[in-house]
Amino acid sequence: MKSESRVSVIGSVNIDEFYYVNKIAAPGETVQSTKLDVRVGGKGFNQAAAVACCLIHVELFAAIGSNNYDMIYEYSKEFPFLDAHLIKIDNIETGKAFIQKSNAENCIVLLPGANVFLSPSHLSFSSASEYIILQNETSIDLKFLINMDSGLKIVYNPSPFKKVDVSDLMKVDYLFINSSEFECLIALLEIDKVNNINHSLDLIGQKLPATSIVLSLGGKGLYSLFDGRKKFYSVYPSSNVVDSTGCGDVLLGFFVGALSILDRPATREEHVQLKAWKNTKNNITDREAALLVGICAASLALEYEGCAPSISLDAVIKRLSEEKIKMEVQ
């Protein structure tokens, strides 16, 4: 599969421990959990799995501990389009996420574990790869990726937020941020803070003119800024919200997967269907169409425990055809 992979992901793999509580604990407060679930997660794994759900070959480079290797490897096989390069680090535990979950809300504490032992020597990208996805949960940073000068389109999700050189950010092709990362980015770019998202996003766009930006506001919707053209997207009106964990990863993964589908001839039936839907939308670009795909996928992820395993491209295309997402020029 390696030669076929069109998307490469450098990212974390964690063992996620979900503690179900009636309310998320405040500082100094102890709460009792009613249930514990243990799953394979991590932003890298979630994003790669989401791309794979688009029936696009994707490779994941991640470091894990020897204590969970078999469990994680077997789980990765549930995604036939995912080629998981799992680097086993002896005497180190796999990264962990401790997640308090109350209804659809969550609070997460990360223990990086083996993720910080991923090194450049572990990376060997497919010759077919077009996109590379990076977050901040491993030891591979944005500067290393920029200095590689691989020619791949860089999709950067700065979570957790770390200070980077603005000159490196300017070379990122796609930047996915949430509201807290948005605030950090404003500070990094030395933009005067104003209580107006529209204006602040315009100022960020002026600082990063070549970068396509997606700002997610959770249940309030999201903004895109592509080539200076700003749009606001409503969320899909779901009445069955179960779990918001990993929905941002699903959004990003399906966005990249959809872009990869739309920019080349389709051979799979699902890809033909997606391109046929896009061809009915003469007033939107491929990037805007891919973002609608990501929003629909994330809305499906909200309705299940866990994220990507529950989502099929067929279900996303069906939800797209309902046309329940409003898109407004700002």
**Dist. CA 309–CA 164, nearest whole Å:** 33
Model confidence at 260: pLDDT above 90 = yes
**Dist. CA 104–CA 19, nearest whole Å:** 13
Query: Mean pLDDT, to the nearest integer, of 276-301?
Result: 94
Split at pLDDT 50, 70, 90, the class of 310 is low
Please write the tens of the pLDDT for every residue from 19-73: 999 999 999 999 999 999 888 999 999 999 999 999 999 999 999 998 889 999 9
Within 10 A of 70 (CB to CB), how many other CB atoms are there?
9
Q: Strand 229-233 and strand 327-329: pairing?
A: antiparallel
| Average pLDDT in the chain | 92
**Which residue do the tokens 């389709």 mark?**
266
From residue 39, give the alpha-carbon distance in Å to each of 51, 76, 99, 212, 213: 19, 12, 11, 32, 30
Model confidence at 178: pLDDT above 70 = yes
Give the number of domains in the chain: 1
Q: What is the CATH number of the domain that holds 48?
A: 3.40.1190.20
Please write the tens of the pLDDT for every residue from 101-122: 887 678 888 899 999 999 999 9
Domain boundaries, position 320: 2-329
Stronger pLDDT, 105 or 164, i.e. the higher one: 164
Please write the tens of the pLDDT for every residue from 196-233: 899 999 999 999 999 999 999 988 999 999 999 999 99
pLDDT for 1 equals: 47
Describe the strand order of the beta sheet including 131-135 as a list of residue ranges. Answer: 82-89, 58-65, 7-10, 131-135, 153-157, 174-178, 212-216, 222-226, 229-233, 327-329
Query: Mean pLDDT, to the nearest integer, of 178-189?
Result: 96
